[in-house]
A and B are shown apart, each in its own frame.
Chain A
């Protein structure tokens, strides 16, 4: 399985950049997901990394280093609607193992 570690909370100002780090155990690893979850709603897919490097999708980018068991999600030009929980999940065979989530609060 995977032990997924990510910070509990982060706060940033509208228009700023925030980086959410995630570390995981590397055994049996098949890829790393990031999901966004607003309170009371289902997680929505943001990114999936299976190879080392940076993947950019508009304001959101995700990075993976398989050798270090490390990923980050970068949120640029923060907007108030980006206030949510961000979940890091490791894929081990067929199973997604989630971290507890990082609550990001965007302030005006």
Chain B
């Protein structure tokens, strides 16, 4: 148990819809990073939030957006879903932006049909 929780665990959406995924960070951690992991691949960095601000972004289009709340929990929003968005979405929390102690939640499995 890492103390990082994500919801929901599984989700099925239709192409074109919008989805919101949620992450509660480990106690004492103020930084949350989101990753997309396609089947058979390693996780790909989407973005990081630190103290409610986006602190860095990977190579993902603007329809991937996020929020971080004062309690450091976070949301990942994806608009205009595409079939290729089907993946495991992982949230990792850490006590600072250096990410030297990043712990992952169990992930949300998103299927777009």
Contacts and interface: CB of A to CB of B under 8 A. Distances in A.
B70 interface: no
Interface string B63-91: 00000000000000000000000001010
B111 interface: no
Interface stretch (A53-61, A62-70, A76-84, A88-96): A88-96
Interface residues of A, number: 25
Interface residues of B, number: 28
Contacts, number: 64
Given A43-B90, A43-B104, A95 B58 contact: yes
A30 B55 CA distance: 17
Interface centre among A48, A91, A96, A99 (most CB of B within 10 A): A96
Given A4-B42, A98-B42, 5 more contacts: A45-B103, A94-B98, A95-B33, A96-B33, A100-B40
Given A91-B100, A94-B56, A94-B99, A101 B106 contact: no
Contacts of B55: 94
Contact of A42 (B42, B100, B107): B107
A30 B97 CA distance: 12
A83 to B, nearest CB: 16
